Amino acid sequence: MKLLLIEDYKPLQKSLTKGLRESGFAVDTTGDGKEGLWYATSNDYDVIILDLMLPGMDGLTILKKLRAKGKETHILILTAKDTLEDRVTGLNLGADDYLAKPFAFKELLARVHALMRRSYQKKNPVIKIKDLQIDLNKQQVRRGKKQLQLTPREYSLLEYLAMRRGQAVSRTDIWEHVYEFNSSASSNVVDVYIGYLRKKIEQPGKPSLIQTVRGRGYKLGETS
Amino acid sequence: MMRSLKTRLLIGTISGMILLLFVFSTIIYVVIRSALVNQFDASLISTTQMLSALTEQKKDEVDVESEIQLMAEFKRKQKPAYYQFWTADGTELQRSLSLDTNDLSPFGGTLDKPIYKVFKMSNGQPVRAISIEFKPRLDKPKRKEKLTESEVSQPFIQQQTITLVIARDTTDLQYHLWFLRCTLLIVSVSTIGLSFFIAAPIVRTGLKPLNSLATQIENVDEGDLTARIDTENMLTELTPIKERLNDLLSRLEKSFNRERRFTADVAHELRTPLAGIRSTVEVTLKRIRDADEYQTALSDCLAITQNMQAMIDNLLALARLDAHQMTFQRDEIQLAELINTCWQNFTDRAIQRNIVIDNRISPTINCQSDTKNLSMVLSNLLNNAVEYTNEGGEIWTAANKTDDSIEITIANTGCKLTAEQASQVFDYFWRADTSRTDTGIHCGLGLALVKKITEALGGSATVELHDDVFEIKLTVPI
């Protein structure tokens, strides 16, 4: 799952990026409004976290421009302005959620998760595929009764496949949603990680969960 | 001190009325009384004239007509009048029967200038008496007889002086005057009583606009100062009050709005670094980390708290300046040296940004000012300059001495502000880039503080823009 964080206050930018990455997100970060708009238009993010007071271009303008361009990415506004008018203006301009600074990191995370599930029309935070269970909130994965230990990257990959369960997901899609923009990883890294993931979630004697769809990519489970 | 305007107006009106009624009643009483007394006296005089006419002198003998005694006035039992005649030697000539054994006593006066006297008879009857002295008519012999020899040899008969006192009862007069007094008193009292009933509603109605004004003022809510008092259909006397009140409301509204904006700004400026600390700490606490990571997180938090502290110090300094709680010393300051000292704190940053400083102030320029505060001003300006000068740019300082002040210029290259933006640099929380959220010293308070302190030191701070050169000019009294 990939996020864009547009926040110019360095300490906040740094800690949020770190925290979100550790929570299994691929995070692109920028502190400049114009750059943020460019990132948001040229990539397909699952959620954008947007500060309002930014150098270059303010958050509300970015929001307006994105919506005008038809970008439907879920946007969470993060700002120190918390008057009723500020909230209403933000939401009316097409923001999906609003969080006033200072906030609890857990709350931000919960809201980002909620927005993400909305993106994939999943209301249940626990996805079950056969005996594989993915708890999106706790980022815990079980196969049967066994708890699986995944790295953030592996988890992120599994989560993305689970969100699009039953669909053949292209390597490019995976790459775009799991790796950061500046990442130097090549696209065959997806295959490598699928390999790691398979080793951890597949169990001998049980049907394979991740199928390779020739020429199209990978598929997790069947459409529920 | 009466608290009620209504009571005051009522008491004032009624007191004025009482005074007027008293004055007019007195005048009426005095006029009528003197008219009545004059009439009484006129009647006394005519009686006197009549009685004196009935007195004649035959040779040396004076004779008073005895018929006078029979006149009803002097005879009646009820409230009789009295008279008594005397000759010049005090011998009584005649008295009214009403006098009986009582005596009147003469007290001078002539027919032309009679003298009046008020007294009571021994029986308690109040009287007003007139006293005159007159020469009685001479009884001349008839012309048909020739004058005798002796009469001719005695051509002049000594005319005697007769004194007459007439006293007449004044009960009626006094009754009339008493009645007049009563009438005037009753009229006055009832006028005052009635006027109270008339004046009270008039005053009440007259004061109604005050009540409506009070209601309007009452409706002004401290939460919403946009309300104004309606000045239409206003009594001219109240218009200035309403206008002043509206002026006051406008000023209050402005100052409240300024306060509110300032508080919102402060809250905003504090929320951002607080969010930084909270999120750094929370993310760090998410799991067990190695020492390096903890160290980085703690250093980050420390840096943020230092910036927050700097901002709060600035805010406090501003608040103290506003409340005039700052005290200033008068130190002898060598300006060039002070600037060099202040610059020490920014040399690292200047080297990092490849900025040079040129201190063009002559070492001979001195001023008398508060070292601590002046260096705070200069540090703020240098800090500002070192942050906003273009990389590889230049900062320079200069000073000009006039008769009573020193003008200090701190200038830097690389300014991208417009003239309009430049005019706002001294405003609270103003930043070159409205969205910039650097905290602490760059929270937009530095230049506001510079202006405030310089003004408190008795000087002024202005800004000038020459192409890309940003200049702050300080005037400091010597």
Q: B239-320 with B328-477: one CATH topology?
A: no
Segment among B69-83, B229-243, B264-278 with least mean pLDDT: B229-243
Q: How far apart are CA B160 and CA B224, in angstroms?
A: 106
Which residues neighbour B138 within 8 Å (Cβ) at sequence distance 6 or greater? B56, B57, B58, B157, B159
pLDDT of residue B180: 93
C-beta atoms of A11 and B286 within 8 A: no
Candidates B48, B116, B108; CA nearest to B83 is B48
Over residues A41-67, mean pLDDT: 90
Confidence check: pLDDT of A129 > 60: yes
pLDDT of residue B152: 55
Confidence of residue B87 (pLDDT cuts 50, 70, 90): confident
Which domains are delineated in chain A?
Answer: 2-119 (3.40.50.2300), 126-220 (1.10.10.10)
Judged by DSSP in three states, B406 sits in strand
Confidence of residue B434 (pLDDT cuts 50, 70, 90): very low
Q: How far apart are CA B136 and CA B164, in angstroms?
A: 11
pLDDT of residue B437: 43
pLDDT tens figures, B278-310: 999 999 998 899 999 999 999 999 988 988 888
**Burial class for B219, CB neighbours closer than 10 Å (0-12, 13-18, 19+):** exposed
Confidence check: pLDDT of B14 > 80: yes
C-beta atoms of B283 and A12 within 8 A: no
Q: How far apart are CA A45 and CA A3, in angstroms?
A: 6
Averaged pLDDT of chain B: 84
Neighbours of B401 (CB within 10 A): 15
Judged by DSSP in three states, A186 sits in coil
Confidence check: pLDDT of A113 > 70: yes
Distance from CA of A180 to the nearest CA of B (A): 20
Residue from A6, A7, A15 whose CB has the most chain B CBs within 10 Å, to mutate? A15
Chain B residues within an 8 Å CB radius of A11: 273, 276-277, 279-280, 300-301, 303-304
Chain A residues within an 8 Å CB radius of B272: 9, 12, 80, 101
What pTM did the predictor assign? 0.60
Q: B239-320 has which CATH code?
A: 1.10.287.130
Confidence check: pLDDT of A135 > 90: no
C-beta atoms of B275 and A12 within 8 A: yes
- A55 vs B: CB within 8 A: yes
Pick the CATH number of B5-137+155-185 from 3.30.450.20, 3.40.50.1100, 3.90.550.10, 1.10.3720.10: 3.30.450.20
Residue B462 corresponds to which tokens in the numbers above? 């202005």
- A106 vs B: CB within 8 A: yes
Q: How do the domains of chain B map onto residue ranges?
A: 5-137+155-185, 239-320, 328-477
Q: How far apart are CA A146 and CA B322, in angstroms?
A: 67
pLDDT tens figures, B97-115: 888 888 888 888 887 888 9
Q: How far apart are CA A100 and CA B365, in angstroms?
A: 52
| N-to-C CA span, chain B | 54
Query: At the topology level of CATH, where does B328-477 sit?
Result: Heat Shock Protein 90 (3.30.565)
Q: How far apart are CA B32 and CA B105, in angstroms?
A: 30
Over residues B168-191, mean pLDDT: 92
Candidates B74, B173, B71, B90; CA nearest to B128 is B173
Q: How far apart are CA B233 and CA B210, in angstroms?
A: 13
Confidence of residue B328 (pLDDT cuts 50, 70, 90): confident
Between B242 and B302, name the one with better pLDDT: B302
Neighbours of A140 (CB within 10 A): 15
Over residues B58-68, mean pLDDT: 81
Over residues A119-147, mean pLDDT: 84
Distance from CA of A109 to the nearest CA of B (A): 11
Over residues B406-426, mean pLDDT: 85
- A53 vs B: CB within 8 A: yes
pLDDT of residue B142: 57
Across B323-393, the runs of DSSP E, i.e. the strands, are 331-334, 356-359, 366-369
C-beta atoms of B278 and A102 within 8 A: yes
pLDDT of residue B438: 44
- A110 vs B: CB within 8 A: no
Between B137 and A186, name the one with better pLDDT: B137
C-beta atoms of B287 and A22 within 8 A: yes
